[in-house]
Amino acid sequence: MEQHRFEIQGPAGRIEVHAYDPGQKKRGIALVAHPHPLFGGTMENKVVQTLAKSFLELGYLSVRFNFRGVGKSEGIHDSGEGETSDALFLLEYLQEREGSLPLVLAGFSFGGYVQAKVAAVKKPERLVLVAPAVKKFEVPAVEPSPLLIHGEEDEVIPLQDLFDWARPQGHAVTVLPGTGHFFHGKLTQIKQIVMNNLKD
């Protein structure tokens, strides 16, 4: 396994990127998006790192990046529009470099909103949304059925809000009992859920 930190020039300037490379025949590309940057969200978020490391263990080139105005990424927060453009730009860069590998998209909270928008364009093989920011933003319907992970006691995105979004689409929801929005003490469970669902 190798780690790479690099920067690319995106639509609004520099995008800071971190990649875990499995150093073998890659199963695909996994792109992970972080929580809301105006509330402290970065690609160093523990849930984001847990997702990235899970995808690495599954054999993916596992990539995360900072949204506009975070870390070394340039630009200013754009309420999901510019962030979606940056994610799509980064994916084009990765696919040009790596070839047409299968794609997995994952996002936590605000990052889940962004990845749902990206999925409408890129049509990933799998989509993993952890506590996606439904009702906070206009999260579009998604297909194929995503892996949805949510805390029973989420104080930021109430579980009922996710049920209301998922129900009309027929999506199942994996609920972690007694868990809040930031999944304190539950990172191992998140990893196990992801590993179990994507291992085949």
Q: Are 51 and 190 in contact (CB under 8 A)?
A: yes
DSSP category for residue 129: E
The domain containing residue 133 runs over which residues?
Answer: 2-198
For 100, the 3-state DSSP assignment is: coil
The tokens for 39 are 């509330």
Between the CA atoms of 97, 126, 78 and 35, what dihedral angle is there, to the nearest 10 degrees? -110
How far apart CA 180 and CA 175 sit, in angstroms, is 11
Q: What is the CATH number of the domain that holds 49?
A: 3.40.50.1820
Number of domain units in the chain: 1
For 127, the 3-state DSSP assignment is: strand
Tens-of-pLDDT digits for all 200 residues of the chain? Answer: 899 999 999 999 999 999 999 988 899 999 999 999 999 999 999 999 999 999 999 999 999 999 999 999 999 999 999 999 999 999 999 999 999 899 999 999 999 999 999 999 999 999 999 999 999 999 999 988 999 999 999 999 999 999 999 999 999 999 999 999 999 999 999 999 999 999 97
Q: What is the pTM of this model?
A: 0.97
